[in-house]
Amino acid sequence: MSAGIQDNASAGHSSATASKTMKQWQRLAGDTSVSGQYKEKPEYFEVIEELGFLPTADEKGQHHWLHVRKTQLTTEQVAKFIAQAVGVPVREVGYSGLKDKFAVTEQWFSVQLPALTQPDWAAIFTVELSSISPRYAGGQVTLLNAVRSSKKLRRGVHKCNHFRLRLTSVSDPAALQARFRAISSWIPNYYGEQRFGFGQGNIQQAEAMFAGKRIKDRNLRSILLSSVRSWLFNHYLERRIQNVQTKLLAGDVFLLAGSHSFFTATDCDEEIQQRVASGDIIPSGPLFGDGESAAQADALALETEVASLFPELHAGLVASRVKPDRRELWLRLQDAHFQQISDNEVEIRFSLPAGSFATSVLQELGDFSAPRYE
């Protein structure tokens, strides 16, 4: 996972228990007998965030940018640790995206401090975390770089995430390699299962919230609304694969590659199809909310159908005044590499744009499960 909501496992323990299998959404490449495990160890799931830019150095800047490597800690836990260390509210700590807890991940944070403040960051990051709070037990965080700048790190600004995954107990490495090569251009851009909490618990909490249960925690409320939008998007994408595979629909909304700009095409003519094939534009699906969809014709009809399958969830988003948005339907793997390590272990490497999930790639590859850490 590169981005997404953390699961509901306790932050205080890190022992692995029974295996957790991903919910199986409709695969574009069809069924497969390939199976295996991922995240057997945290170091078997590595994520490196690439901002796509470097913070502009400013010796008098009030924003301290910190490049860190973490394991067995959530992004929010590291943000709280930084805030505690310098005595500021956690809202003063910025980061671009959420990274997996049970993994080895690298990402940037920023924290705003008075102009004359210069913490000893090297010393701060040598503190034993478990001495601060039992919630940090087993976690490790290392400072890689520190830069002062005049700007805060904003959410969602990083370019991509680079993944290195060690897969174990692989049933058929040769078949996995063939499938890895075959799917590299068209991968359903599903949200990962961690977006929904363990056992889809976030969706259940959202249903209770929409039914009248009061959620005082604004951050939790935001998480639940995001989970519902992700859930509906996944169902839209699944229904689309079942109905038309990768075929374009009249009235589709296309996103320009590398931007948030989009347009609606009433007729998906040859020019549109060529632009899709080249990667210049990507067909999108709905992130439902309070407002009219940009889709038209057949694409709009499918969106309406999916919304009607979950009337309470859709109505809850509308009542919550969530702004509608769009998300790419398909992923293209960048920098893809496959290496067989042993008879039943392989390593795969690839890059995904911000907001996309490595677990969605794994789902397309086969039936992969991970230990459930508690």
SS3 352: strand
pLDDT at 23: 65
Pairing of strands 187-188, 140-149: unpaired
Does the residue 3 lie in any domain? no
Q: Are 63 and 150 in contact (CB under 8 A)?
A: yes
| Confidence at residue 115, expressed as pLDDT on a 0 to 100 scale | 85
Please indicate, yes or no, whether residues 260 and 129 belong to a single structural domain of this protein: no
Co-location of 212 and 115 in the same domain: no
- Flag whether 4 is in a domain: no
Whether the CB-CB separation of 43 and 71 falls below 8 Å is answered with yes
Any domain includes 128? yes
For residue 225, how many other CB atoms are within 10 A of its CB?
Answer: 21
Q: Distance (Å, rounded) from C-alpha 358 to C-alpha 337?
A: 14
Do 300 and 218 lie in one domain? The reply is yes
Q: Is residue 10 part of a domain?
A: no
Q: What is the pLDDT of residue 186?
A: 87
Q: Give the domain range for residue 72.
A: 53-149
Task: List, in order, residues 6 or more apart from 131 with CB less than 8 Å away.
Answer: none
> How many Cβ atoms sit within 10 Å of the Cβ of residue 361?
25
194-231: per-residue pLDDT in tens?
899 888 899 999 999 999 999 999 889 999 999 999 99
Token pair 């913490």 is at which residue? 119
Question: Which residue, chain included where needed, has tokens 């890689």?
Answer: 144
Q: What is the DSSP string of 51-89?
A: -SS-PPP-TT-SEEEEEEEEES--HHHHHHHHHHHHT--
Instruction: Tell whether 30 and 178 lie within a shared domain.
Output: yes
Q: Are residues 137 and 33 in the same domain?
A: no
In a domain, 7, yes or no: no
The rounded distance, in Å, linking the Cα atoms of 273 and 208 is 43
Active site residues: 100
Could you give phi then psi for residue 301, rounded to 5 degrees?
A: -60, -40
**pLDDT value for 373:** 63
Within this chain, do residues 257 and 230 fall inside the same structural domain, yes or no? Answer: yes
pLDDT of residue 15: 41
What pLDDT is attached to residue 22?
54
Both tokens of 253, joined, read 């909304």
Same domain assignment for residues 29 and 176: yes
The residues that bridge with 325 in the sheet, in sequence order, are: 287
Cβ neighbors of 30 (< 8 A, separation 6 or more) are none
Distance CA(285)–CA(25), nearest Å, equals 16
**239 lies in the same domain as 281:** yes
The predicted pLDDT at position 198 comes to 82
For the chain, give the mean pLDDT. 91
Domain total for the chain? Answer: 3
Contact 224, 202 (CB under 8 A): yes
- What is the spatial distance between Cα 64 and Cα 119, in angstroms, rounded to a whole number? 9
| 251-275 exposure pattern, b = at least 16 Cβ within 10 A, e = fewer | bbbbbeeeeeeeeebeebeeebeeb
1 within some domain? no
- CA torsion 69→360→281→247, rounded to 10°? 180
Alpha-carbon span 232 to 286, nearest angstrom: 8
Exposure of 94 in the CB half-sphere (CA atoms within 13 A): 19
Q: Has residue 285 been placed in a domain?
A: yes
Burial of 73 by CB count in 10 Å (0-12 exposed, 13-18 middle, 19+ buried)? Answer: buried
Q: Are residues 90 and 136 in the same domain?
A: yes
Asked if residue 140 and residue 32 are part of one domain, the reply reads no
- 144 DSSP 8-state letter: E
Instruction: Tell me if 110 is assigned to some domain.
Output: yes
For the chain, list residues with pLDDT below 70: 1-23, 373-374
- Name the token pair of 77: 């836990």
DSSP letter (8 states) at residue 39: -
CATH number of the domain bearing residue 77: 3.30.2350.20
Q: What pLDDT does 4 receive?
A: 34
Distance between CA atoms of residues 344 and 177, nearest Å: 12
In the prediction, which pLDDT does 366 show?
Answer: 96
Q: Are residues 198 and 294 in the same domain?
A: yes
Q: Residues 302-320, buried b or exposed e (16+ Cβ, 10 A)?
A: bbeebbeebeebbebbeeb
344 and 251, same structural domain?
Answer: no
CA 328/CA 253 separation, integer angstroms: 10
CATH number at residue 285: 3.30.2340.10
